[in-house]
């Protein structure tokens, strides 16, 4: 990175393929960066920060006294990143930044992590400083935890940052192993936005995090990563709410491990079955699905060429991801949108996405 008065950076959204709510339980995740991005571009300024967005408007702040905003809270993602980078020694002063892109907001495609990463890379270009990519990801996670109030794990930032075209990203949240796995070229991914947006800081996400921590304590393990599905059946003394929460996370970890082997073998059908099982577990065990997400999944599963479908991301609204044969993707996307509109009166945003490279 070279010093300059102007800079720009972009970061892609991500689609969670498997590994739902496993990251903050020290589990494993499989995801992919997609070809929808958020861009941040701008210039150095004096001591003030000015952030503009066609979607959200304009915000100003003092670079020397960064603190979370109570209004225009969307800017806290950027201000939080600036604050975390300052604490790491990055000599951030004032700057003007414009936010734009084509990644849907609030759809479970990690627009928040994309905004954080695009902001971090923009600032590291504008105020040159060397950090490893994993350090950058962790700084963005801390910004979301501290400035936004969502106690999110690290998976979104890692997948957006370490994405590779036509590869899934495997991330072990305990060992921090990151590797890419080839994705079959004959398959495609379809994203369908239910039209019901999520607001994770409203409580459901943080509630699930607390519930899974309590479940780990009840089973006597450090985290649900250390539990096997067979052990869940052996214990009859676990509270009724915590047992299914634990089952979802434990079996999701097992699905991810199996999925990596299936992808390496080019087995799209087996992978699709795991996606279907994941959604059913979200619906029954974790209760983070919605009627809209369930409808999108059930419609997709009945269409010719579809191998599997599930909600993607935290749930509680947002989007689904459908795995299908590439030569059927266009027709599947069109039919999925038509059938959902006919059933709900809401026209969903549905698009075929390419698996893309990570943030830069």
| Active-site residue, selected from the candidate residues 23, 156, 193, 339 | 156
Q: What is the DSSP letter of 104?
A: P
Distance CA 21, CA 212 (A): 9
Query: Would you say 308 and 184 are in contact if contact means Cβ atoms under 8 Å apart?
Result: no
Distances (CA, A) of 346 to 79, 94, 193: 35, 43, 10
**Which residues, listed in sequence order, are joined to residue 32 by a DSSP beta bridge?**
15
CB atoms within 10 A of CB 63: 18
Distance CA 156, CA 146 (A): 16
Nearest to 157 by CA among 199, 209, 115: 115
156 is catalytic: yes
CB atoms within 10 A of CB 339: 18
Instruction: Please give the full DSSP string across 174-207, using - where no structure is assigned.
Output: TT--EEEEEPPTTEEEEEEE-S----GGGTHHHH
Distance of alpha carbon 124 from its chain centroid, rounded? 23
Nearest to 120 by CA among 354, 358, 355: 358
Nearest to 250 by CA among 278, 229, 221, 272: 229
Give catalytic residues, as residue numbers: 156
């Amino acid at each position: 990175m070279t010093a300059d008065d102007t800079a720009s950076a972009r970061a892609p959204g991500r689609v969670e393929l498997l590994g739902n709510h496993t990251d903050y339980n020290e589990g494993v995740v499989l995801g992919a960066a997609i070809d929808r991005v958020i861009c941040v571009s701008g210039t150095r300024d004096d001591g003030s920060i000015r952030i503009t967005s066609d979607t959200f408007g304009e915000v100003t702040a003092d670079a020397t006294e960064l603190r979370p905003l109570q209004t225009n809270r969307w800017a806290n993602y950027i201000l939080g990143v600036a604050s975390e980078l300052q604490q790491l020694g990055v000599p951030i002063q004032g700057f003007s930044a414009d936010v734009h892109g084509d990644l849907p907001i609030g759809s479970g495609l990690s627009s928040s992590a994309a905004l954080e990463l695009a902001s971090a890379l923009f600032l590291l270009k504008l105020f040159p400083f060397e950090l490893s990519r994993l350090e950058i990801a962790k700084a963005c996670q801390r910004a979301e935890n501290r400035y936004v109030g969502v106690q999110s794990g690290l998976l979104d930032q890692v997948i957006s940052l370490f994405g590779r075209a036509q590869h899934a990203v495997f991330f072990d949240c305990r060992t921090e192993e990151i590797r890419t796995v080839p994705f079959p070229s004959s398959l495609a991914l379809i994203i369908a936005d239910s039209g019901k947006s999520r607001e994770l800081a409203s409580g459901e996400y943080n509630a699930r995090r607390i519930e899974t921590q309590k479940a780990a304590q009840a089973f006597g393990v450090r985290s649900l990563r250390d539990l096997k599905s067979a052990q869940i059946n052996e214990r009859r003394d676990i509270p009724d709410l915590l047992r299914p929460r634990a089952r979802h996370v434990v079996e999701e970890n097992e699905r991810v491990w199996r999925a990596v082997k299936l992808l390496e073998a080019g087995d799209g059908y087996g992978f699709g079955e795991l996606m279907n099982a994941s959604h059913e577990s979200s619906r029954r065990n974790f209760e983070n699905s919605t009627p809209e997400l369930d409808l999108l999944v059930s419609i997709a599963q009945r269409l010719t060429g579809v191998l599997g479908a599930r909600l993607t991301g935290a749930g509680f609204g947002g989007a689904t991801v459908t795995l299908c044969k590439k030569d059927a993707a266009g027709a599947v996307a069109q039919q999925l949108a038509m059938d959902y509109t006919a059933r709900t009166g809401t026209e969903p945003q549905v698009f075929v996405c390419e698996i893309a490279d990570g943030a830069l």
